[in-house]
Amino acid sequence: MTRFIFITGGVVSSLGKGLAAAALGALLQARGYKVRLRKLDPYINVDPGTMSPYQHGEVYVTDDGAETDLDLGHYERFTGVPSRKSDNITTGRIYQNVIARERRGDYLGATVQVIPHITDAIKEFCVSETEGHDFVLIEVGGTVGDIESLPFLEAIRQLGLELGRERALYVHVTLMPYIAAAGELKTKPTQHSVKELQSLGIQPDVILCRSDRPIPDGDRKKISLFCNVPIASVVPALDVRSIYEAPLSYHEAGLDEQILKTFGIQDAPLRALDRWTDVVRRVLAPEGEVKIAVVGKYTGLKDAYKSLAEALAHGGIANNVKVDLEWVESEIFEHDQDLVSAHLEGVHGILVPGGFGERGSEGKIRAVTFARERRVPYFGICFGMQMAVIEAARSLVGIKNASSTEFGPTPEPVVGLMTEWMQGNDIARRKANGDLGGTMRLGAYPAKLQEGSLVAEIYGATRIEERHRHRYEVNTAYRPELEKAGMRFCGMSPDDMLPEIIEIPAHPWFVGVQFHPELKSKPFEPHPLFASFIKAAVDQSRLV
């Protein structure tokens, strides 16, 4: 029997509903259950693929090619369960599907309305492909009280009624602010948020109270009384030193025990939280420290590089060191070349991440030059690999006009738009002036690695599969000249058409990848490329 846990949030946004869902999923796994996590997003975009990183943070990509909310990254990192296209839905996609059905005549002439047609579509999403799972955790994006989330809240209310109390449970995440002038934590915002939820027909079973300090029992009793839940169901969710401490903290607060008790489950002993204890120990008590410069164009919002930051931290966990990130806006290097040395001198590794558009690209190329000439470990991801190839074409081969067609017409298209490629057994096609949404090379693609290469040694394999999200590819016409100049194309698509990985063998550690390895890294299973990059940074720190 599959049970459903619906997770809502109130008072303010950014309370960490996604982390709470991920941590709870990890705790249920530790008790031997099979879990699945999903996200309902109220915004009208079909998916976040065309949204600015400053608006939405990073776009998380699944193996099957879905562009999804960054919370799905938390789900995967905490549970190890690969997310799928069917694990994230938006208002835009719901309406798109319902309108398509209406156009086909599926509703037999009925007036199409929010209730029942939109809510039925949401419920259909919630319960689809859940067979064989013990628990499905469904996070509702936004904050209770938002207009756009009303259809989703109504849908989960209906679904709770249809499933019955033994199969549906509601967790509400709220904020308990501390008022310094009064010297008190305040329960009123939680009371009002729960009453708002109750007015929509949903009675939370568990209230998860976010706070930066311990919550007195008196305050928990007050919330229990006014919000109509047992005091044991008022669970403190205190700030933690590392997000990977959340499963341990929530278990200590009794969250998983109370969830199971509410479902009437008594025989689910906790098997082990050892891997989380080990991860937290490595994070909080490292044996050293390295400094990594991330030279990007969205550094003003760290959530734009959420999976990247976590994967670098995982590399630190693998090497038992703290990774100190220095976020550098690449555009500043274009205005003053002296700033390159000022910002990058003394760092132990340089990483240029993915991105779109010409802004800041020349600054990224200057960062590549610094890393190559100063023999500082360099990791280029997606756009960062393309900039490394363009830099090599200019500096090592002498092609001064080397550029990318992404920036406009160029006589030397070292990077260009691919208009068709193999996707499984089918040919995928795109147009230069076509829609932006969903038209990239998305999802997991295989690659073959050159035997004897650094990356083959790092992976311990010559066949890999990694997730992609990009429109432009390195032009293989320039491969002979680049390889003659010292750049090795050590990873290629199975048909040898698309470069996947480059490296410079004469450099201590210089690797560029067309895919996004950060999307598959986990704290208890760091991605091998990040583990190797941080190891190279540790070696570099001994030389500085």
Q: Do both 241 and 369 map to the same domain?
A: no
Question: Among 74, 117, 507, 516, which one carries the catalytic annotation?
Answer: 516
Instruction: Give the number of domains in the chain.
Output: 2
* CATH at 72: 3.40.50.300
Q: Which residue among 234, 262, 278 closes a domain?
A: 278
Q: Which residue among 253, 278, 303 closes a domain?
A: 278
Q: Do both 327 and 246 map to the same domain?
A: no
Query: Which amino acid makes up residue 386?
Result: Q
115 φ, ψ (degrees, to nearest 5): -115, 115
Q: Do both 256 and 335 map to the same domain?
A: no
Query: Which amino acid makes up residue 508?
Result: P
- Residue 479 near residue 429, CB atoms below 8 Å: no
Q: How far apart are CA 363 and CA 334, in angstroms?
A: 5
Residue among 264, 119, 99, 135 at smallest CA distance from 200: 119
- Residue 47 near residue 96, CB atoms below 8 Å: no
Q: Do both 495 and 382 map to the same domain?
A: yes
Q: Do both 243 and 300 map to the same domain?
A: no
Q: How far apart are CA 98 and CA 171, in angstroms?
A: 28
| Residue 382 falls in the annotated catalytic set | yes
Q: Model-level pTM greater than 0.85?
A: yes
Q: Could you tell me the sign of the dihedral formed by the alpha carbons of 432, 433, 434, 440, in that order? A: positive
Q: What is the pLDDT along the chain (544 residues), one digit of tens a residue?
A: 999 999 999 999 889 999 999 999 999 999 999 999 999 999 999 888 888 877 778 999 999 999 999 999 999 999 999 999 999 999 999 999 999 999 999 999 999 999 999 999 999 999 999 999 999 999 999 999 999 999 999 999 999 999 999 999 999 999 999 999 999 999 999 999 999 999 999 999 999 999 999 999 999 999 999 999 999 999 999 999 999 999 999 999 999 999 999 999 987 888 889 999 999 999 999 999 999 999 998 887 778 899 999 999 999 999 999 999 999 999 888 877 878 888 899 999 999 998 888 888 999 999 999 999 999 999 999 999 999 999 999 999 999 999 999 999 999 999 998 655 445 555 555 555 554 444 678 999 999 999 999 999 999 999 999 999 998 999 999 999 999 999 999 999 999 999 999 999 999 999 999 999 999 999 999 999 999 999 999 999 987 6
Query: Which amino acid makes up residue 56?
Result: H
Q: Do both 237 and 360 map to the same domain?
A: no
Q: Do both 328 and 274 map to the same domain?
A: no
Tell me if the bond preceding 116 is cis, omega within 30° of 0.
Answer: yes
Q: Do both 229 and 299 map to the same domain?
A: no
| Residue 518 falls in the annotated catalytic set | yes
Q: What is the DSSP letter of 394?
A: I
532 φ, ψ (degrees, to nearest 5): -70, -40
Q: What is the DSSP string of 261-301?
A: HHTT---------HHHHHHHHHHHS-S-EEEEEEEES-TTS
Query: Which amino acid makes up residue 208?
Result: L
Residue 429 lies in domain? 286-541
Residue among 294, 162, 334, 313 at smallest CA distance from 243: 313
Q: Which long-range contacts (CB under 8 A, 24 or more apart) does 158-161 make?
A: 158/119, 158/123, 159/4, 159/6, 159/123, 159/126, 159/127, 160/4, 160/6, 160/202
Q: Which long-range contacts (CB under 8 A, 24 or more apart) does 309-312 make?
A: 310/73, 310/77, 310/518, 310/521, 310/523, 311/517, 311/518, 311/521, 311/526, 311/527, 311/530, 312/351, 312/530, 312/534
Q: Do both 299 and 205 map to the same domain?
A: no
Q: Which residue among 243, 261, 278 closes a domain?
A: 278
Question: Among 245, 382, 391, 473, which one carries the catalytic annotation?
Answer: 382
* CATH at 455: 3.40.50.880
Q: Could you tell me the sign of the dihedral formed by the alpha carbons of 413, 416, 419, 424, in that order? A: positive
Q: Do both 375 and 448 map to the same domain?
A: yes
Chain-centroid distance of CA 357 in Å reads 21
Q: Do both 174 and 296 map to the same domain?
A: no
Q: Do both 474 and 530 map to the same domain?
A: yes
Question: Among 58, 139, 245, 518, which one carries the catalytic annotation?
Answer: 518
